[in-house]
Amino acid sequence: MRTLEHKVALVTGGSRGIGKAIALELAGAGARVAFTYRQASHEAQKVLDDIRAKGSEVVAFQSDAAVHSQAKEIVEKVVAQFGRLDILVNNVGTTRDGLLMRMSEEDWDAVISTNLKSVFNFAKAACRPMVSQRSGKIINMTSVAGLVGNAGQSNYAASKAGIIGFTKSLAKELGSRNIQVNAVAPGLVETDLTSKLTDDQKKVMVEAIPLQRPAKPEEIASVVLYLSSSSSDYITGQVITVDGGMVL
């Protein structure tokens, strides 16, 4: 069912993992899709090919989401090419884990900039066309770490908690313009980021999940699709946790 026919979506960090699954899911629902990537040009090309194979329009932009001017330029290009912007998915993210006593300022700044400032950059740029349209959906990818914290991830947890506060504040600002702003908080997901975990680390995490397994990226993408569709028109300022019960 092509629930996003005639809609235009922009996904940041769309070349791999959850972002790739989201881009494919939205395209499969009929959206014209733009996505960003930073370095993974080979992976980005594969996403382009996969979406075109679905018969959907797609374009990719190489950029650093933490740079405000680049975010503004990309949103302007998307609107110029497709005529509008209906859906923004702020997905780009990174980790630089370590105990706070050993964490460098560089590792703190890099994670906050990539994970949190990028959300500000793209949401700010997307506000203008969405307000003009008097409609839009902004979905920010946070994490269960932003809800409960995680030892060795103070920078990552702080960035993801910041996204939650940002989401709720922006939902209040834009609600009167018929723009819904929500967040999705995945738990353990099978991606490149979690592939860095040791088998022992994964075992401990899976044991803490009532459903006894990590999520597939497609299971996160399906929730983003719901929040991107008209079915969620009366939902805003919410954080939907997709974690198999990890933080019950």
In this predicted structure, the answer to whether residue 194 has a pLDDT above a threshold of 90 is: no
For residues 201-219, give the mean pLDDT. 93
Instruction: Please give the Cα distance from 64 to 12 (Å, whole number).
Output: 10
Span of 77-81, 99-103, 139-143, 199-203 with lowest mean pLDDT: 199-203
- Residue 40 — pLDDT band, cuts 50, 70, 90? confident
226 catalytic per annotation:
no
What is the distance between the alpha carbons of residues 22 and 15, in angstroms, rounded to a whole number?
10
Nearest to 163 by CA among 131, 122, 194, 117: 117
DSSP assignment, residue 189? Answer: B
Helix, strand, coil in percent for the chain, rounding step 5: 50, 15, 35
Instruction: Please report the pLDDT score of residue 62 as a whole number.
Output: 97
- Indicate whether 24 pLDDT > 90: yes
Residues 113-148: pLDDT tens digits?
999 999 999 999 999 999 999 999 999 999 999 999
Question: What is residue 199's predicted lDDT score, i.e. its pLDDT?
Answer: 85
Catalytic residue among 37, 156, 226, 234: 156
pLDDT tens column, 3-16 = 999 999 999 999 99
